[in-house]
Structure 1
Amino acid sequence: MSVRKDQSSSVTSETVQAPVISQSFGEGSSLQITSHKRNGNFFLRWSQSVLLVIQGKGKIEYITGKVQQPDVNDPIYENWELNNSIVMTWLINSMELHISHTYLFLRTAKAIWDVVNKNYSDLENASQVFEIKNKLNDLRQGSMDITEYYNELQMLWQELDLHY
């Protein structure tokens, strides 16, 4: 945060400016953030991938609501709009076309994130828990070495933990 002091005649005023955090597409941003495209299945895997990437790019506040839309006349509005559009693009491009078109006209990244979560998280939870438990029940070491087998078990246990 920067503080600017203006001294004119005998009056001193301080203006506190919010930090400007922006990242242009040329600075390592990519329009495609995950290989796990939202396709109607595996919501948890998709959402975890998206969260990790967005958090890693320093923009998680745009989907959590911590950074809220400022007034259009606010000096930081342009920066907010740029970053919000980047996050919206990431979200839309991480979905299959038949799903993404549903969210194209929402106005904020947070709105997209909230609606996707509302539409998919509870819907898939019971069926995914059932599927994971079946995979755990059916998993056999077979030709896998012990490390492969353990890693497969560990992945399924972690996925199951995320549902509870």
Structure 2
Amino acid sequence: MDAPAFSDVEVNPNQRLSSVLLNEFNYFPWSRAVSLALGGRSKIGYVNGAIEAPVITSSTYELWLRKDQLVMSWLLNSTEIAEIFSYSESSMHLWKQVKEMYGNQNNVARVFQLKKNLASLQQGSKTFVQHLGSLTNMWNELDVYRPHTTDATVLIKRAKEDKIFQLLASLGPEFEDLRSHILMNAELPSFTGVCAIIQREEVRRKVMNQETKDSVSETRAYVSSNKRPEGKVYKGKRPDLKCSYCDSLGHIKDRCWILHTELKPKFLKETKGPEIKGTQKYLNNNSYMANHAATLSTEGMVNFTTNPAALINDFAAYLYSK
């Protein structure tokens, strides 16, 4: 029996080439890991063009196509964004598309994130080996973006960038959008320029907040001035109402207890004595009550009490007797 042309590993289209999956920020470490994996399988030539596609009529075309599609499956399985490249014509075409989209982009944002993560990383519940592995991965990725150099110009530029990174990392969460906007520039502004941008944003926020407060205050004032009196909630009597039946303030004729005894509170219904029209009008006149208090007592009013409800009924009975 002939030996199989491919091992089980080589013919598995669901295999991943690396534990590092491609996303928007890690092209360089991903491309290095995938290149090593393809080189170890003697398939790197399919993505770098060293193994060219034969003419479609060639007897070797079918074998080449089989291997190329296998490599393309591995590449797609090694990304988090496979749907973007799923219709690539070949593995080399896919490789070039990924490089054009992510390999030439500005990596300032990724450097900032790596430095921020390194500064805040804690061991937590990880073992020392796991913790060291996390640090090493970030150090290695940072070395890809910032390879070692003795060029004074490059070193000075990196030192200025680090100051900007520290400044942006110290900003509050309300500046997240501004921070992202600055980091996505093709070239970082100068430190002074970044400070000016942040100050302008702070002033803009203050102005917008003040305008919002003023708008809310105007809206509340408008609602208050145009609100119907019937919609107001009062605690106690309403001074804007006057009863046309007893001429008293605080209610209207439809709510008058004298005219509508069924509206009287329970504690007043339990008192005894007749109620007549005009009683409340006289009771509201404090000067009248003060001037005639002695007369009421000398003319034989019985059971005079300081209870307001009983006083109303007693005084009504007195007036009725007159």
Q: Residue 54 of structure 2 contacts residue 60 of structure 2 at CA under 8 Å; is this kept in 1?
A: yes
1:1-164 matches, cutoff 5 A: 24=6, 27-29=8-10, 30=12, 31-33=14-16, 34-96=18-80, 99-123=81-105, 125-139=107-121, 151-164=133-146
SS of the aligned residue for 1:40 comes to coil
Give the Cα–Cα distance (whole angstroms) in 1 for the partners of residues 117 and 141 of structure 2: 11
Give the Cα–Cα distance (whole angstroms) in 2 for the partners of residues 28 and 113 of structure 1: 21
SS of the aligned residue for 2:107 comes to helix
* Shift in alpha-carbon separation, 1:160–1:57, aligned structure 2, 3 A: same
SS of the aligned residue for 1:155 comes to helix
SS of the aligned residue for 1:102 comes to helix
Output the amino acid matched with 1:117. K
Give the total of aligned pairs. Answer: 140
* Shift in alpha-carbon separation, 1:159–1:35, aligned structure 2, 3 A: closer
Output the amino acid matched with 1:67. I
* Shift in alpha-carbon separation, 1:143–1:91, aligned structure 2, 3 A: closer
Report the counterpart of residue 16 of structure 1 in structure 2. none
* Shift in alpha-carbon separation, 1:70–1:145, aligned structure 2, 3 A: closer
Residues 80-113 of structure 1 show CA distances to partners (whole Å, capped at 9, x for unaligned) of 11111111111122223xx322222221101101
> Percent identity among equivalent residues?
29
Output the amino acid matched with 1:107. E
Q: Residue 29 of structure 2 contacts residue 144 of structure 2 at CA under 8 Å; is this kept in 1?
A: no
Q: Residue 43 of structure 1 contacts residue 124 of structure 1 at CA under 8 Å; is this kept in 2?
A: no
Q: Residue 25 of structure 2 contacts residue 110 of structure 2 at CA under 8 Å; is this kept in 1?
A: no
Gaps of 5+ in 2: 147-322
- Using structure 1 for the length normalisation, give the TM-score: 0.68
TM-superposed CA distance for 1:148, in Å, is 6.2
More helix by share: 2
TM-superposed CA distance for 1:114, in Å, is 0.7
* Shift in alpha-carbon separation, 1:152–1:67, aligned structure 2, 3 A: same
- Using structure 2 for the length normalisation, give the TM-score: 0.38
Q: Which moved more, 1:137-146 or 1:42-51?
A: 137-146
* Shift in alpha-carbon separation, 1:75–1:154, aligned structure 2, 3 A: same
* Shift in alpha-carbon separation, 1:35–1:81, aligned structure 2, 3 A: same
* Shift in alpha-carbon separation, 1:32–1:124, aligned structure 2, 3 A: farther
Output the amino acid matched with 1:64. N
Q: Residue 84 of structure 1 contacts residue 109 of structure 1 at CA under 8 Å; is this kept in 2?
A: yes
TM-superposed CA distance for 1:72, in Å, is 1.6
Q: Which has the larger radius of gyration?
A: 2
Give the Cα–Cα distance (whole angstroms) in 2 for the partners of residues 147 and 95 of structure 1: 27
Q: Residue 36 of structure 1 contacts residue 94 of structure 1 at CA under 8 Å; is this kept in 2?
A: yes
SS of the aligned residue for 2:71 comes to helix
TM-superposed CA distance for 1:145, in Å, is 7.9
